[in-house]
Amino acid sequence: MSSRDGSSREPAGLDGLPPLYSIAKGEVVSVQTYGAFVRLPGYKKEGLVHVSEMSATRVENASEIVDVGEQVWIKVIGRDIQGDKVKMSFSMKAVNQGTGRDLDPNNVQAEQDARRRKSFRDQGSNRITLEAVLNTTCSKCGCKGHFTKDCFSAPGSQYALVPEEDDEEPQQRQQTSTAAPQQDADKKKKKKEKKMKKKEKKKREHDESGSDSSSGECKSKRRRHSSSVERQDKKKKKEKLHKRS
């Protein structure tokens, strides 16, 4: 066992724990997908090197980095004591695996990792509590998402959420914005229909005027023809009378 400055020291006892942020060389006794368990000489308790603490780069499986029986340098970054249970967390990336030199002498990275693990545990517990509440059915109103003691509904009463004024204004704007293009389209359609009606009316008037003029010409031609026939008949009668005389 060695401290931060690399000097050797004896453990306090077999039942003791290595000091926090101390550096030691241990043996890998078990390899799992999520990390490797390392046993330090003179200590009964094994510590876990999580895959996130094995290398500065991403590690998918601990077997990619270490094997059982391999000697590795570790740094103690966590000691959780809960009654008789003790959990130790080690880091390999904080120590030079060739020389055993501390790569994080001020423990900045170790403290950041500790805060991250703590926040993760807090969020996990909150998530479990929230899911439990959401899946709870109230025995008073029969609805999900709250406990009976927190129920505010009275028997036979039904409540609905009333939208706020700020929420109503965007809805009205949206309705007016959607109605405006429809009104423009209706106006354009009406104008187009009016134009079509005007064109049809002009066409009918033009056709009627054309038919009237053609009928008038036919009548005048007939009159001329009849008058010329009458003149010819009169001329023939005169000639006959002249011959008789």
**Mean pLDDT over all residues of the chain?**
76
Q: Domains for the chain: give ranges and CATH numbers.
A: 22-119 (2.40.50.140)
Instruction: Read off the pLDDT of each residue in 118-136 and give the average, rounded to a whole number.
Output: 61
* Model pLDDT, residue 2: 45
Contact of 100 with 23, CB cutoff 8 Å: yes
pLDDT of residue 8: 43
User: How far is residue 19's CA from residue 5's CA, in Å, rounded to a whole number?
Assistant: 13
Residue type, 110: A
Q: What is the mean pLDDT of residues 7-13?
A: 41
Q: What is the pTM of this model?
A: 0.45
What's the distance, Cα to Cα, between the start and end of the chain in Å?
A: 172
pLDDT of 180-195, one tens digit each? Answer: 667 777 888 888 888 8
Could you read off the pLDDT of 64-89 as tens digits, one per residue? 999 999 999 999 998 887 777 788 99
Look at residue 232 and tell me whether its pLDDT is greater than 90: no
Residues 6 or more apart whose Cβ sits within 8 Å of residue 81: 17
The H or E element spanning position 91 is strand 85-91
